[in-house]
């Protein structure tokens, strides 16, 4: 009778391969898992929740909710293949060492990540097993184009999106995604794991995620449903419609991509197939793929310039005279700035864990240029409240709006929150949904209720300073202050 995994190995059973899941919570088009399954050896898939390794970049509250449900989906996927997903929580290296000891595994496969802390962790894993006769293999799978493969004519990383994307596209179409065709061999011995419910990733007392189950379906199946819906409807007017938050013209796929529930190659080829079936969609699909390109560019920047989450990419912005104003920051976080388009975005974020990309730019511009509050404060808030929180996208996006990043929007381009609302929420549907106090406000005053005559305000039940705030700053004065702060840096 076999008494232990190591004894089983001793009498001739094949040693298992540990597949260490990270931001790749899927089974299809996952090179490392495919390699493990193709070996014919038993595979032990595991996920380790390590809050220590990322430091202050540990997952925020919204992301933890998504992680819980994504792991449920992944575990169900494995169960349908007769395999158990092992969950453990704690310090990664010691837990992997324990898993090797428990099972006699001689190989650990995983997908790479691009965050500085994640790269450091990969090095620690390599070092820990270098002298233990345990093979450690890293694979791609989270990006279409690995950062080392894209360089300018001088061999240097790109700092501007357009030539970066041109270089990516010059290499032709990415490889076709591969489903996991092989049968995964389950390790014959039970492997101790933890109960997901014990991790308490979902909020309680209060449960601010109560409605999210009706809005989101974490997991590969939910991701594919999002892609299919988008390619049936949203893609037809994507170039224009993607800027209008009231319309359903975007994929809302970003949380699924952030957790690796679907590969970007699969998204790419599904979009390409839609264009092949209807040549009239080619322009729309190209525009959509360029948005995937911005995700690639953000990871390219993070890999080559790993301090962008902490420091301004443009050196002169490291001297910028940011203000510390807890009151204004809190008003922004709560959607109580008095500017309806800004408030609608911040409330959408709090209630759904998501914000439309056009609105992300508007609220970020307001924080950094109207309130002169550091972009890191905004990035930190997004990190905790966004379901799709991703260090590369979050850091590069905030620096782009602030004007301090690579290929950034010029600092002097200051979004007017009034005209942005008038231009991108023409019928006011978005504002009225998320700022119901203003639902009866006439279109003329919807983006600037303080300009409405008192009789109009009374007729629609709006009492400024009572049930809706006065603007916390004046747009013209705030714009002048922002430009003066820019001028203080000297040559820009």
Which of the residues are catalytic? Answer: 291, 294, 322, 357, 375, 398
CA distance to 1, 219, 254, 284, 335, per residue, from 345 (Å):
63, 26, 17, 26, 7
* Region of residue 354 (phi > 0: left; psi between -120 and 50: alpha; otherwise: beta): beta
Residue 78 tokens, joined: 């494995």
231, 223 Cβ separation under 8 angstroms: no
Of 458, 433, 430, nearest to 249 (Cα)? 430
Distance CA 293, CA 37 (A): 30
Interatomic CA distance for residues 182 and 42, integer angstroms: 12
DSSP letter at 243 equals: T
> Among candidates 88, 149, 137, which has minimal Cα distance to 111?
137
Quote the tokens at residue 61. 């509250």
Helix (H) or strand (E) holding 169: helix 161-170
| H helices present in 281-356, as ranges | 282-304, 326-334, 340-352
* Contacts (Cβ under 8 Å, ≥6 apart) of 237: 247, 249, 284
Find the length of the chain: 492
Handedness of CA 48, 72, 257, 343 (dihedral sign): negative
Say what the alpha-carbon torsion angle 268, 270, 271, 276 is, to the nearest 10 degrees.
120
Enclosing H/E stretch for 137: strand 135-139
Provide the 8-state DSSP code for 490.
-
Q: Which SS3 state, helix, strand or coil, does residue 263 take?
A: coil
Report which secondary-structure segment, H or E, holds 17.
Answer: strand 17-21
Q: What are phi and psi of 111, to 5 degrees?
A: -95, 145
CA separation for the pair 162, 293 (Å, rounded): 10
Name the token pair of 97.
């060492």
Could you count the other beta carbons within 10 Å of the beta carbon of residue 84?
A: 17
């Amino acid at each position: 009778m076999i008494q232990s995994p190591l004894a089983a190995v001793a009498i001739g059973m094949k040693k298992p391969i540990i597949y260490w899941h990270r931001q790749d919570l899927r089974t299809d088009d996952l090179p490392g898992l495919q390699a493990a399954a193709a070996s014919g050896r038993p595979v032990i898939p595991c996920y380790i929740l390590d809050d220590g390794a990322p430091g202050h970049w540990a997952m925020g509250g919204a992301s933890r909710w998504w992680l819980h449900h994504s792991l449920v989906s992944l575990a169900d996927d494995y169960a349908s293949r007769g395999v158990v997903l092992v969950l453990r929580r704690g310090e990664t290296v010691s837990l992997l060492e324990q898993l090797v000891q428990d099972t006699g595994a001689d190989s650990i496969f995983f997908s790479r990540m691009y965050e500085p802390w994640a790269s450091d962790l990969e090095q620690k894993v390599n070092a820990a097993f270098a002298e233990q006769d345990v093979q450690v293999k890293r694979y791609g799978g989270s990006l279409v184009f690995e950062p080392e493969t894209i360089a300018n004519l001088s061999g240097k990383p790109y700092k501007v999106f357009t030539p970066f994307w041109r270089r990516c596209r010059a290499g032709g179409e990415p490889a076709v995604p591969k489903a996991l065709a092989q049968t995964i061999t389950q390790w014959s011995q039970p492997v101790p794991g933890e109960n997901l419910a014990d991790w308490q990733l979902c909020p309680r007392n209060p449960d601010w995620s109560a409605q999210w189950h009706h809005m989101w379906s974490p997991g590969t199946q939910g991701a594919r449903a999002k892609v299919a819906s988008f390619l049936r409807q949203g893609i037809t007017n994507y170039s224009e419609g993607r800027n209008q938050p009231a319309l359903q013209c975007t994929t809302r796929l970003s949380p699924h991509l952030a957790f690796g529930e679907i590969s970007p190659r699969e998204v790419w080829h599904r979009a390409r197939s839609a264009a092949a079936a209807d040549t009239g969609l080619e322009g729309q699909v190209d525009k959509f793929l360029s948005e995937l390109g911005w995700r690639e560019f953000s990871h390219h920047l993070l890999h080559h310039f790993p301090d962008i989450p902490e420091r301004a990419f443009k050196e002169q912005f490291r001297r910028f005279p940011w203000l510390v104003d807890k009151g204004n920051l809190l008003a922004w976080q709560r959607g109580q700035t008095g500017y309806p388009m800004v408030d609608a975005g911040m409330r959408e974020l709090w209630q759904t864990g998501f914000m439309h990309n056009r609105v992300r730019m508007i609220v970020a511009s307001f924080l950094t240029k109207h309130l002169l509050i550091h972009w890191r404060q905004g990035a930190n808030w997004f990190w905790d409240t966004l379901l799709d929180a991703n260090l590369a996208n979050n850091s590069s996006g905030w620096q782009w709006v602030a004007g301090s990043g690579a290929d950034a929007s010029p600092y002097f381009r200051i979004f007017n929150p009034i005209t942005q609302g008038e231009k991108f929420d023409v019928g006011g549907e978005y504002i009225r949904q998320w700022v119901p106090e203003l639902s009866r406000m006439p279109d003329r005053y919807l983006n600037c209720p303080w300009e409405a005559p008192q009789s109009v305000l009374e007729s629609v039940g709006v009492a400024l300073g009572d049930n809706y705030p006065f603007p916390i700053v004046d747009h013209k004065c705030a714009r002048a202050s922002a430009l003066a702060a820019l001028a203080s840096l000297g040559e820009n």
